[in-house]
Amino acid sequence: MEQKFDFGAVDAVIEMHGNEQKNLITILQSVQTEYHYLPREILEYIAKRMDISLAKIYSVATFYENFSLDPKGRYIIKICDGTACHVRKSIPILERVRDMLGVSEQKPTTDDMMFTVETVSCLGACGLAPVMTLNDKVYPAMTPDKATELIESVKKGDNEA
Amino acid sequence: MGYMYIDGMKIEYTEEKNILEVIRKAGIEMPTFCYYSELSTYGACRMCVIENERGGIEAACSTLPRDGMKIKTNTPALQKHRKMILELLLSTHCRDCTTCSKNGSCRLQELALRFGVKQVRFENNRPEKKKDTTSKSIVRDPNKCILCGDCVRVCREKQGLGIIDFANRGSNLRVTPAFDMDLCDTDCVNCGQCAAVCPTGAITVKDETEKMWRYLDDPTKRVVVQIAPAVRVALGDEFGIEHGENVLGKTVKALKMMGVDSVFDTALSADLTVMEEAAEFMDRVKNGGVFPMYTSCCPAWIKYAENKHPELINTNISSCRSPMQMFGSVIKKWHELSDDERELISVAIMPCTAKKYEAARSEFTENGKRIIELSLTTQELATMIREAGIQFAELEHEYLDAPFDMGGSGAGVIFGVTGGVAEAVIRQCSDDKSSGAVKDIKFVGVRGRDEIKEAVIHANGRDFKICVVHGLANAEKVIKATQNGETYYDLIEVMACPEGCIGGAGQPFAISPERDKRAKGLYHTDERIQIKFSDKNPSMNYIYDEIIRDKAHELLHVKYGE
């Protein structure tokens, strides 16, 4: 899959936040919002443009769990495995979703780049446990069956999350 | 300024930037992994812990001295603490000490012995990580890394590069180039300072001594060795000889004992470099060439410029080959003119790890054969001397071999220290060749440990502004200042390593004041050599008339990238 990057947009992001080392994290966040991950080509571009060593940027990008260096699917499914969700049986949901999409912890993204399945430690919505999000839209009180249904609807194109 | 109490002793402190320095001044050898006075304080290894009055534990390296402060450096609690740290470090460390290239000079090994770590209770359940042997100069073995970050800081702070940094966090923390690239794919300049500061065998200099032994054992090979100026004042460190003492004579003897056919002195080709570089400089002055002119002896600097400032390559940077390569070309020609049938193996003993890279460059390879077959470091030579069982300290002096037995002039010898190349070129360009002039040049400001030095000299009826810089981070500052038009220089000498080649990563590791003694050793040698000017070296006529003839440009200059 050939992916061209718009370095002009990266320039704009750097300008907006200020070309200083202290703004690196916010710049990386903006890039990730755009691409759902941090493409290596863009990190290399930022390193040159901001005069920060590439190893330093890699250091920051790997330090924070929230940054991803691997491309993600169009739909990002997050299944909460915080204490509240866990005791209300979030693991069976996770297992069902992974089975259904043929992904695992090591390989969280489907080959067709449609879905990425992740766990999170707490979404801060414990009252709605077990919680799942699809591209940041929250689905409360989930069950494995409800998750299946949701994914099927996305696959059919009914869900515009 | 004030007094503090260390283990009950009243100790005065003045300029010390932390209590670790005060403790060491008091004669107590505090253990550290991550502390170097020349780098920023990191406070990660926690070996230098002390106990304060309230029984609290603090790291000495990151605590400021206070008047009246009372600390203890060696209590049962501290001993237990240090031992535990060592045990934990060892728990994830590969323990093949006997086959490690750092065996005997590893700080982890040394401190484990000193603190009596007799067993490690924890199993190493880390999967083995891949060793990176792709660099021409250094080897990185992540399994031996203790995460002290010394390499990360020296690369970033001294060289301004930041090729390696920490990645991930917590128990997954590791030191690596970006995206786990191999070192050969990064912008690493091969200066090797990371290996010099590494307390363990995680980053080491590539060992090529075996190759050398094979050449020495082969009767079909004519092994010719050249020795760089900085090597002679550092090799003695490995054999208990006083810091900075010139041991060239012993080194020649040791090499001959190992079976080397001829031993020459790179200070001689440093004279050649001076001749060529001074001529190039004056030619630029007369014909309106590009300024500032940068020196070209340091291979790490050349690689840095190629990566970061390609606009300087083949323009501002002198076209002169390094002294090592110049001598390589001369030795090659000299061998061709002789009737020796054996294959020439040209070897250089260098204070430098980047010379290994330089020797392998395509510009210095002719028909698949390198001009310099092998570049060994001072430390590799020390290893070979020990392997051969030679009692180095007891050796008699031996003279260099004909036809280059004159060695170098004083100007050639001081190439090994920051400011030396500039001083040698100034001597050459100076109209006044009296001994008084040599003394005057000494004081123009090119000598000393300062990272960026400026000097003005008068020659050919005008003033020239000269800059001397060591450390690539400092070089970057100078380049930026000249390119912005903030400042102007005619000549800029750049050396990548601290204080020039005497602080090269191939040398036995030393920081000042020991390193300063090496500089003194070279200046002292210069004083004792009668010939102070490169063009007064009688070997020059012989080399130009009999060996180089009309091929000076072809043999002594280079165009990078071809």
Q: Mark B394-408 as b/e (b = at least 16 C-beta within 10 Å).
A: ebeebebbeebebbb
ipTM of the prediction: 0.89
Q: Which residues of B are catalytic?
A: 277, 280, 297, 318, 355, 358, 363, 501
**In a domain? residue A115:** yes
Please give the model's pTM, rounded to 2 decimal places: 0.91
Contact (CB<8Å) B164/A63 = no
Q: Specify whether the CB–CB gap between B423 and B277 falls below 8 A.
A: no
**In a domain? residue A80:** yes
Contacts of B186 in chain A (CB under 8 A): 55
Query: Which parts of chain B have pLDDT scores under 50?
Result: none
Contacts of A60 in chain B (CB under 8 A): none
Q: What is the rounded CA–CA span in Å between residue B545 and residue B552?
A: 10
A109 and A138 belong to one structural domain: yes
Q: What is the pLDDT of residue A159?
A: 64
Q: What is the pLDDT of residue A5?
A: 83
Contacts of B178 in chain A (CB under 8 A): 43, 53-55, 57-58
Among residues A25, A40, A63, which one ends one of the domains?
A63
A79 and A34 belong to one structural domain: no
A141 and A94 belong to one structural domain: yes
A91 and A131 belong to one structural domain: yes
For residue A124, give the CATH number of its domain. Answer: 3.40.30.10
B209: enclosing H helix or E strand: helix B209-217
Q: What CATH number labels B2-74? A: 3.10.20.740
CA distances from B81 to B19, B76, B84, B123 (A): 19, 8, 5, 20
**Positive or negative: CA dihedral B57, B58, B60, B64:** negative
A42 and A85 belong to one structural domain: no
CATH class, B210-556 region = alpha beta
Q: What is the rounded CA–CA span in Å between residue B251 and residue B253?
A: 5
Q: What is the rounded CA–CA span in Å between residue A150 and residue A141?
A: 13
**In a domain? residue A107:** yes
Domain that holds residue A13: 7-63
Report the number of distinct structural domains present in chain A: 2
**In a domain? residue A85:** yes
CATH 3.40.50.1780 domain residues, chain B = 210-556
pLDDT tens over chain A, length 161 residues: 456 788 989 999 999 999 999 999 999 999 998 888 999 999 999 999 999 999 999 999 999 988 999 998 889 999 999 999 999 999 999 999 999 999 998 899 999 999 999 999 898 999 998 999 998 899 999 999 999 999 999 988 766 55
Q: What is the pLDDT of residue B409?
A: 94
- Put simply, whether A63 touches B (Cβ < 8 Å) is yes
**In a domain? residue A70:** no
**In a domain? residue A68:** no
> Does B87-205 carry CATH code 3.40.50.300?
no
CATH 3.30.70.20 domain residues, chain B = 87-205
CATH 3.10.20.740 domain residues, chain B = 2-74
Q: What is the pLDDT of residue A158?
A: 65
**In a domain? residue A99:** yes
In a mutational test of the B interface, the residue from A54, A69, A70 whose CB has the highest number of chain B CBs within 10 Å is: A54
A59 and A89 belong to one structural domain: no
Please name the residue of chain A whose CA is at the shortest distance from the CA of residue B164: A55
Question: pLDDT tens for residues B62-100?
Answer: 999 999 999 999 999 999 999 999 999 999 898 889 999
Please name the residue of chain A whose CA is at the shortest distance from the CA of residue B156: A53
Q: What is the rounded CA–CA span in Å between residue A55 and residue A58?
A: 5
Q: What is the pLDDT of residue A1?
A: 45
In the block, which residue shows the tokens 């490169």? B534
- The distance of B147 to chain A (nearest Cα, Å) reads 14
| DSSP state letter for B205 | E
**In a domain? residue A15:** yes
Q: Which two tokens stand for residue B104?
A: 């005997």
A59 and A116 belong to one structural domain: no
**Least CB-CB distance to B177: which of A43, A55, A63?**
A55
